[in-house]
Every structure is written in structure tokens, then in C-alpha cells.
Chain A
Amino acid sequence: MNFSLIGALQILFKILIFPGLLFVVVIGLFLAGIDRKLVARMQKRVGPPLRQPWFDFLKLLGKETIVPHAANKAVYLAAPVIGFTGLVVMALFIPVFGYSTFSGNGDLIVLLYLLTIPAVALIIGGSASGSPYAGIGISREMVTMMSYELPLIIILLSVARKVGGSALCFSLGQIVNWQASNGCLAFHPALIPAMLAMLLVIPAEVGTQPFDVAEAETEICEGPLIEYSGAPLAVFKLNTAMKMFIMTALFTNLFFGGVSTASLIGAGIPAIALDAVIMVLICIVVTFLSMSLIHAITARFKIEHLFKFYWTVVAGLAALSLVLVWFGL
């Protein structure tokens, strides 16, 4: 890495603005707004304005932050920020089709583990708040995590096998490039079950409606978030929105990667911008299919049913895909 001024500025730009912080935050909150709007429309409601997540975020910034008596102050306040940081850094690993911060080489396993950081931050923060409701909430969050991790890893392995063949390939950049030349993975029949499984994994990862057992506000008073108020809560809400974007972007890269306009209009900033727009459009569709639609038509799972669902139906779909890919389909 060349630490000249221009280079440093470029890196700073990448971290803070384009694939990094600002882009993720803006698109994440945008997707969250779209999700709420779509759910409302599907329930025959008008729904909040698209800016609503922004209002929520800003409002929470303006509220008091109360650190409860039983809480461990340092951990309690640091936890949301750790999750936020993890997400921002993770965003740098996800390429916007061709364009990414770290030379297009996001590693799938690294991503898988970075994805756990926000969840762990939520868990540790909830645990540090000292509330018994949070205790139940973190238990559920953890079980949810155990549930979706199994299908997720099988999906990633199927994709890796499809792209890498008989070589080890965990690089997201490589997966995108492969799709650029061989067509989107979504159109390979062997990976369709995996794609469906991934659509079901996203809502659990983000924690939206039928899979939000951890934050069930009607049962366990928002679970881990119970004692949070003010800015830390705002950051947690922001984390959820960012996760929404990151998961859908990951989906896009895994199954619809390589849709680059650079070949049509020539490489350069317009092509990157156009790519970003296309990516956001795909993200909206994925948000609709995986989060809004499921949210609108289902009621919350019980935790044991959630676990069973993921380890049988979703993992079964993913494993089917893995087996199909393995034997050369």
C-alpha cells in the first residue's frame, strides 16, 4: 500500500464514503425504510415515509442514555459501537460488483465470522445490561445464530465448490469474476436451492419479523436491547439497517455477481456509479423477497421451532445444493 497523500485520501474515501461508512449507512437506512414501507403496503397500510429510519435514528440520538445500576458501564456503552465498527469494516470486504476496497478479495470465511461480530456485540451488550429479560434475549439471539450458521456455511461451501471446482476458492472477488464470465450463479440450477436457503437465512441474520425471537418486544421487552436508550440504541438500530444492506449485498455478490456495466460504457466512475445503482436495485428486490414479504405474511416463530426450521428445511435446501454441485451439476 502506497502511503502517498493521494493514496491515503483514496483509502480514506473508500473507508468513509463510497463502499464504506456513508454508502452503507445511507443505503442501509434506505433499505430499512423501503422494508417498512413495503410491509405496510402489503398489510394494506400507508406505512411510514421512506425517511422514517432516519427520523428514528436522529430522535434516538437526542434522547438521554441511561446506564442502569446493574450494568457494566464500559461494556454496555462500547458494545453497540463494536458492532457498528464490525459492520463498517465488513462493508469494505464486500465488492460493489467489480469495485471494492481491498482489491476485490473478500474471503467468505472471514465474512462469515465478521458477520458474527454485530450479533456478539448485541449479546454482550445485552448481557452487560444486567436485565433478566436481556438474559433470555441473548439466549434466543444465540440460538438463532446457531440456527442460521449451519445453512449459511453450506451455502457458502456450495458456491465455493461451484466456482472453484477442484481448487480452494473462498474469495468473493473471484466468485464475482467467475460470474462475470460464466453467468450469474442464480441461473445455475444446482444453486437454486442454495439461493432459496440464502433468502431464508437473510431475515434471521438481520432479525426481521418471523425470526426476531431475540428481540420479541411483546414477549421479552426487546430482549437484549431492553435497557438501551439514546445514542447506543440508535447505533444498534443503525446496525440492523446496515446488516440489511450487507446481507443483501452479499447475496447479490454470491448469486447475481458480475453484472458489470463497465463492458458497455467503459470503465470509470460512471460505470461504478451505474453498478452501484444496479446493485442497490437488486438489493431492494432481495429485501422485498427475503424480508418484507416474509415479514408481512408470517407471525413470529417460537425459538425451538426456529431452530428446527433452520436445521431441517433451510439446511436441507442448502445441503441439496451442495450435493448437486458436488456431483457436477
Chain B
Amino acid sequence: MGFFLETVFAGLMNGVLYALVALGFVLIFKASGVFNFAQGAMVLFAALAMARFAEWLPQWLGFQSVLLANVIAFMIAAALMLVFAWAVERLVLRHLVNQEGVTLLMATLGITFFIDGFGQTVFGSDIYSINLGLPKEPVFILESLFPGGLLINQDDLVTAVMAMAMVALLTLFFQKTGTGRALRAVADNHQAAQSVGIPLGRMWVIVWFIAGLTALVAGMIWGAKMGVQFALTFVALKALPVIILGGLTSVPGAIVAGLIIGVTEQLAEVYIGPLVGGGIQIWFAYVLAMVVLLFRPQGLFGEKIIDRV
């Protein structure tokens, strides 16, 4: 029982991060109809930027405080993501309006190559660390209830809270602010939004920037946990099954599906894995999503598609 709970907990901790990255995907897809494969590369790029600046700033400006360095580095990284968002809109999106989905998807893969190369050129391709001063050693709770107690990682808790805060902020932003409303309008209907004078271009910059922020936060968290390096790009692949499971256009879908996949893949690996030789985590989430789609082709929360003739 204790072990089961630990597994579920571990899954939830992953799930929160999946949800965060998936959110980035969904926002961009809703607002610009782009299926953004570059999300993973964005995670790496943002994390690299933060890690490196946090390392450089103290040398340049000659101060000690890690916290200060991290804060400024985060700001700079965020600024970079803004520039990136702007560049994407300027140089790519606006030239590809009303292209087919697959063309846009390929374009984002092109972007992926570019920023992979660019990031490594500017920031290097070694392993770098983001030091958030997270406590690494595990704590054991409820030892009275379970033999050996329940293993809880404080850093998991801290980072999960960060991620959830980010998610909450975004949701607020979308519900409460004018820009948020405008974005939702764009998502619902491009033409209509344009006709009431919402500047599509600027909206795209904003969503890509927001997606960039989610990438930065996710990258920061993962970077702090396992070091900032190229492999970060692969983690974001996990967001793909999440978004189709939740429904490409659904923010709550991304969050719920993130948690579902986080938990189920852990349980599957731990309980089913040993029966088939293990390592099934790499495909389980996808197969799960595929099976669900057989019954709900638009995902759990996506809008229903009706054929009209």
C-alpha cells in the first residue's frame, strides 16, 4: 500500500510538469493553430539561458548572492523568450498563415533545429546546473502507518508547487485580464477576433511568449533536478500524448491529462513493466492516449467535431 502511494505520488510530481509543458502546447495551438514541436527545444533553450546567466552574472558584476543571480538570470531568460516569440511571429508565423497544419508542424521542427544549434552555439553543449538550493535528501512520513514510511522528496514538493503556481497564474490571466479574453476570442474564431480589431500578430507574440515562460519554468525545474543539458529536449516529448489525451484545444484537458499520464505511466512501469521485461514507459503514454482517442476522437476535453455537408 505504501509503495502504491509512493508510486502515485511520484507520478503526480511528473504529471504536474507534463501539464505545464502541455499547457504551452495548447496555448499556442488554440491561438495560432500551430502544433508546436519546438516546445522541447524551447525548454532547453530557456534553461540553458538561465543556467548560463546565473553562472556568468556574478563573474561579470562581481556579486555573490546565488538568489540574486538566479532572479536576474530568470528575468533575462524570460526576456530572451519574448524576443524569440517576436522573432517566430515576424519571421515564420505571419508568412505561413492559413497553411495546412502539417506544414506548420514541419516549420516548428525547422525552428527546433535552429534553436538547438543556436542555443548550443551561444551557451555551449556541456552540462550546466541551476542551483535553486532544493533539498535533495528524502524524508519519510507516516512511518507508523507503513513499514519504512512513505518516501517524499521535498524538492518534488517545492517544484510541484512552483509548477502549480505557474498554471494557476496562467488560468487567472486568461480568465481575468483583457488580453486573456482577447486570446480566448482569437482561439474561438480568428476572423471574428480580427474583425473586432484584435491584432492577431500581437496575440501570437503573446501566446508564444507565454509558452516560452512555461518552457522556462519547466526547464528551470528539470534543470535544477537533473542538470541543464541537451537531453532536456526529450522530456517535452512526453507532453504530446498529454495534449491529445486532454484535447488539443483544452487548457483544463492539458492539466488533467498531464496528471493522468504522469500517474498511469508510473503505475504501468512498476506493476506491468516487470511482466514484459520493463521499459514500457517510453510507449505506454502514447498507447494509452491512442486507445482513449478510439472512444473520444477529440480527446477527453476537446470540442466535438461534427461533419457538415
Indicate whether A and B interact. Answer: no
- B interface residues with partner A (beta carbon < 8 Å): none
- A interface residues with partner B (beta carbon < 8 Å): none
